[in-house]
Amino acid sequence: MDTYLGIDVGSISTNLAVIDEEKRVLAWEYLLTGGRPIEAVQKGLRGMEKKFAKGLEIKGVGSTGSARHLTGILVGADTVKSEIIAHAVAASHLIPEINTIFEIGGQDSKIIIVRDGVVVDFAMNTICAAGTGSFLDHQAQRLGVPIEEFGDLATRAKAPTRIAGRCTVFAESDMIHKQQTGHATENIVAGLCQALVRNYLNNVGKGKDILPPVVFQGGVAANKGMKAAFEEELGYEVIVPEYYHVMGAIGAAILAQETIVQTKKTKFKGFKVSEVDYKTRSFECTGCPNLCEVIEVLMNGEVISRWGDRCGKWEVLEK
């Protein structure tokens, strides 16, 4: 079976997806990065290999996410693209008429404006983490609500509590105040979802031409309360796709397939890379006032790649 592999490594999760020639998803892996992207990628590859035994032939590999360059070197990716492109490609494949993409992950959130299958505008959150998965996890713990039940609880609210959502600090302090004054937990949870949606639309989505159909993806899309809050604020349906949590990986796999059509040959190193001893380290170059932070990747103790310098002084080709 000829297949294509996509790998999306973010600050919170590492996702892998395998598609066939028809771009159908055959398997996926969702793992926590845990601050160890190399180990997470290797674990994901081992898991994917087990799912297919020996009947899996990878024809191409794509990497995306915040650790896309590192991942590309580790596995031998044929294409390395930003998560903006990967998410747009995946969403456009599943819903060709898509106009807007809301993507909210563990540490960041972004909006992508698509017209006729082409990304025409995008924006990401800056310093405010309100509305991201990690913020919701923290508030769920404070309320004593399992994060898996957060969305269902929000949909049962009769009178959502009005909570200030301008920033993380205000939202949290206001939520604590409302909790202390006796508001029901389900109303607080629903109010928090509404506050975070307002924060997202007023910051990340500020000035953007948000048109339906709208697709909501990323880990936070599992929260039914957030979906309902978006729909109430916008006035129309927000679509959560089946593979909302691994859309970046699916997009990377589709991009890999398109690349192989041109190159005809993959650079994928094979599943054996899951057993290779990879290390990373960094140092500050003092050769000029830029003081670039250079990242090195070592395989079995030998440097195989460097990046991060502006002038190219420290760059070496991957072996």
Phi, psi (deg, nearest 5) at residue 138:
-65, -45
Q: Where are the alpha helices (DSSP H) in the chain?
A: 37-52, 68-75, 83-94, 133-143, 147-155, 168-180, 185-203, 224-234, 247-263
Q: What is the pLDDT of residue 318?
A: 47
**CB burial string 250-270: b at 16+ within 10 A, e below:** bbbbbbbbebbeeeeebebee
Residues of the chain with pLDDT under 70: 53-55, 126-131, 165-169, 315-319
For residues 48 and 129, state if they share a domain. Answer: no
At residue 210, φ and ψ (nearest 5 deg) are -85, 110
- pLDDT for the residue 33: 87
Judge if 19 and 51 occupy the same domain. yes
| Cβ–Cβ under 8 Å, residues 218 and 245 | yes
How far separated are the first and last CA of the chain, in Å rounded?
A: 29
What's the pLDDT score for residue 316? 55
Length of the chain (residues): 319
- Same domain? For 226 and 110 the reply is yes
What is the number of structural domains in the chain? Answer: 3
Query: What pLDDT, in 10s, does the model give residues 232-270?
Result: 999 999 999 999 999 999 999 999 999 999 988 999 999
Domain at 128, CATH number: 3.30.420.40
Q: Are residues 183 and 308 in the same domain?
A: no
Region of 257 please: left (phi>0), alpha (psi -120 to 50) or beta: alpha
What pLDDT does residue 127 have? 61
Looking at the fold, whether 101 and 236 belong to one and the same domain comes out as yes
**pLDDT at res. 158:** 85
